Amino acid sequence: MFEAIEIPFGSVMMFNVVDLKDGVTIEDVELALGEMCNVVKNNYGDDKGGFIAGQVYKNSGFVSKEGSVSPDNEAPSGAEKIKAGEIAIVTFWKSFDQHEKSHADKLFKEKFEKLAEFCDETYELGYQMLWQGVPEDH
């Protein structure tokens, strides 16, 4: 559950932003989130399913001035809308098509719908890997 993951070059990364309804906490969604992630891990993880690995993050509310480029070196417009309770689900897949097929499956949809009940909105953006690296031993 907490082991290091290795992501093969050429994978796709899906970045799912989960915007919780006002008054809903991380603790309120833990069970629904855990069940949904477990369904993905346990049912779509072979070559046919395409799931490689995933991670879940809680937005802690900080914005990097050093890593942001804007005229006044401040947070980009709209960043104030990001709530500290927002969740990001990052998953890695062999292909976008395999991701879409898994998420169209009835088993996944049932679990995702339970999580969605706690949300104002969710959206998922896909990225193709261009580079990866690790520090070289010295």
Query: The CATH number of the domain where 42 resides is what?
Result: 3.30.70.100
Cβ distance 50 to 98 under 8 Å?
yes
**Digit-coded pLDDT (tens) for 9-23:** 999 999 999 999 999
Residue 135 lies in a domain: no
Residue 20 lies in a domain: yes
Number of independent structural domains in the chain: 1
Q: What is the pLDDT of residue 63?
A: 74
Range of the domain at 23: 12-62+81-128
Cβ distance 93 to 105 under 8 Å?
no
**Digit-coded pLDDT (tens) for 107-123:** 999 999 999 999 999 99
**Digit-coded pLDDT (tens) for 56-102:** 999 887 777 777 777 666 665 665 555 445 899 999 999 999 999 99
Residue 55 lies in a domain: yes
Q: How far is CA 90 from CA 37, 51, 53, in A?
A: 11, 11, 9
Residue 69 lies in a domain: no
Residues 6+ apart with CB under 8 A from 97: 50
Residue 3 lies in a domain: no
Q: What is the pLDDT of residue 78?
A: 60
Length of the chain: 138
Q: What is the pLDDT of residue 59?
A: 87
pTM summary value: 0.85
Residue 72 lies in a domain: no
Residue 35 lies in a domain: yes
- pLDDT band with cut points at 50, 70 and 90 for residue 55: very high
Residue 43 lies in a domain: yes
Mean pLDDT value across the chain: 88
- Per DSSP, 130 falls in state -
